[in-house]
Structures are given as structure tokens and as C-alpha cells.
Amino acid sequence: MQNFEYIAPTDTIAAAQALSPHAGVTAVLAGGTDLVSLMKQRVETPSRVVSLRSIRSLRGISKKGGGLRIGAMATVEQLLDSGAAAPYRSLLQAARGITAPQVRAMGTVVGDLLQRPRCWYFRNGHGLLAMHNGESLVPNGENRYHAILGNKGPAYFVSASSLAPALISLGAQVTVAGPEGEREMALADLFRIPASESERENTLQPNEIVTEINVPGASGWRTATYEVRQRQLLDWPLVTASVAVRLRRGTVADARVVLGHVAPIPWRSSEAETALKGQSLGESAGEAAGKAAMAAATPLSQNKAKVHLATVAVKRAVAMAA
């Protein structure tokens, strides 16, 4: 690990002010489950680490205005133990997929959203886009776990977050603090597909911190997350699908379908949502939604199987929500 200086401010503005406005110079430390490993690999080499552990306002999970507030330092373990989170079924189903108790105890919910991609080219020092002589190594390389949507290039990695698809399907917002103050945005807008190596997979400025997630009340929504896994324990899913639907007179009036691990961002499928609307929640509606979600898929040389897995994930998530 490259040496760094350490600072643990007691409020978010001081933390943001301790961060550099330039990328790669400083890093934010919450649970550390991703950052510490990235620093050991020298993928991240900050000269200053800003710890959030002394900022009391970032702690805890609680009910807030009919919804749920998740502080930036709240861990996955706290989410699973929280009575306030109990109505958010799809979120808890996704959180249970993070099995290792050590990761649950250390890792934060916000950290799950902001973990860097697990793409092995990136983790082995080839850069986020794995560019080599002006071309990405991924399309002709080892790409079985890479993107099948949103992969026109040069980004082919998949968003690694397990919880973002569920949170986006629940309509979550995030609060972001910078040196000048706070701003709010839809969680979906936190993510982006980078167009060049100078961009990241999120829209945060280098000196901004996500301070909390706010999820609106889930009353009236039927929600579910289905994960397709190679290993049941201690691994990231191959594909996930989170759905949230609201029925009126027995048929779907509102639907949100968000897939994980299929694109460089959590992938909201308007095609699947359209396929569900007006239908009753049966197997045929789920199957049609799965097929619609994958209609525009463009698999790479080694990951055609993910198209089928994602189709099934949507179908099963719809069945679980019914």
C-alpha cells in the first residue's frame, strides 16, 4: 500500500473540504472493504485518506417522513437487523445475497453502491476501460462476466452493486455533500457509463461524499429481487433483477424493473416495465417482461448465457413479487 496521511473529520463539510477536487489524489474511507484492497493492489494510490467514521450524522438507519433513511456509515448488517427496513422486501433480499458476515459487519450500504467495478482488467491495473493501443481489451478478451447492455464501448464492465437495482426500483434518492453544501438526486443519476478513462462510473465530484440514501415508503408496492448465482455464498451474483409493481384492479398500474450486473450502470428496463403494465402478475407476464428486457441485448463473445440468465431473473423476480 502506498503511504498516505489520514484525517477523520467530525462533519461532512469538513470532510469534503479535506478532499481534493482532483481525481485520484484523495479517497473516502467508510467500511474499507473495497478501498483497502484497491490500495493494496495500487489501483487506488491516494496521498490522503478521509475517514467518515467520526461523523455522527452519517450513522444509523431510521424511518424518516414515511420513508427510510440510510446513513452513509450504516452497514449491511445494520440494514438487515433494522426494523425500519423490514417493509423493503426487495432491498433485504438483495442484502441477504451479501453473505459473509465480515463483509456485512464492515461494509456500508453506500459503499456497496460506490464499490469500484469488479472487472478483472480494471482490478489488475489496466484501467477502468482496459484500453490498450486505443482499443479495449474486453471485447476480444475474457468477458464472460461483462456487460450485455449499455456496452457500445469503450466501457464493458458491469456495475458491481448488489443493492442499487433494488434501491432504484424503490425510487431512492441520495444526498451528496461537497465543500459548498449539499445536493440531492435520484440514485439512478449517481451512475453513469464513462465515455473516457478520465471519467468514473459515478457522477460524484472527487471532493463529494454521499451522506445518505432516502427511500420513499413502500406501502402499496410489491417488490422482489432475484439473483442468479454461480456460488450461493461469498460471491457477486452473475445477474440480478429487482422489480417493484403497484396493482390497480388486479393489473399492473406502475412498474419499475432494474437489472444488476448486466451493464456498466444498474440497468432500468423501460421495455420490461411496458411489458408488465396492464397485465396481471402471472408467469406469462414475467416471461414477457424478461424477454422484453433482453430484446436489445448485445452480448460479447463469451457471455451470451447472461442474456438467458437475465431473462429468467426478471421472470422469477416478477413471480416473487406477485
Partner 1 sequence: MSSNKPQDGPVRGPQHEPREGFSRRTFIEGVGIGAGAVGALGAPERVRAAGNDVLGPDPVSITLNINGKSHDLMVEPRVTLIDALRNRLDHTGAKKVCDRATCGACTVIVDGSPVYSCTMLAIEAQGRRIETIEGISTEDSMHAVQTKFVEHDAQQCGFCTPGLVMAGKAIAERNPRPSMADVESGLSGNICRCGTYVGVRKAVYEAARGESA
Q: Which residue ranges make up the site for partner 1 (CB under 8 A)? A: 1-10, 14, 18, 29, 32-33, 36-37, 39-40, 47-49, 51, 53-54, 77, 99-103, 105-106, 233-234
Q: Which is nearer to partner 1, 29 or 158 (CB)?
A: 29
Q: Which is nearer to partner 1, 99 or 196 (CB)?
A: 99
- Calpha distance 33→38 (Å, rounded): 9
Q: Which is nearer to partner 1, 97 or 299 (CB)?
A: 97
- Calpha distance 19→49 (Å, rounded): 8
CB of 41 to partner 1, least distance (A): 8
**Residue 70 vs residues 12, 75, 98, 105: alpha-carbon distances, Å:** 15, 9, 17, 15
Q: Which is nearer to partner 1, 95 or 272 (CB)?
A: 95
CB of 114 to partner 1, least distance (A): 16
Closest-CA residue to 24 (of 211, 202, 200): 200
82 SS3 class: coil
The DSSP line for 185-241 is EEGGGGB---SSTTS-SB---TT-EEEEEEE---TT-EEEEEEE-SSSSSS--SEEE
CB of 148 to partner 1, least distance (A): 26
CB of 206 to partner 1, least distance (A): 18
CB of 267 to partner 1, least distance (A): 27
- Calpha distance 212→88 (Å, rounded): 17
Q: Which is nearer to partner 1, 101 or 125 (CB)?
A: 101
CB of 129 to partner 1, least distance (A): 23
Partnered with residue 112 across adjacent β-strands are none
Q: Which is nearer to partner 1, 4 or 271 (CB)?
A: 4
Total residue count of the chain as it appears in this document: 322
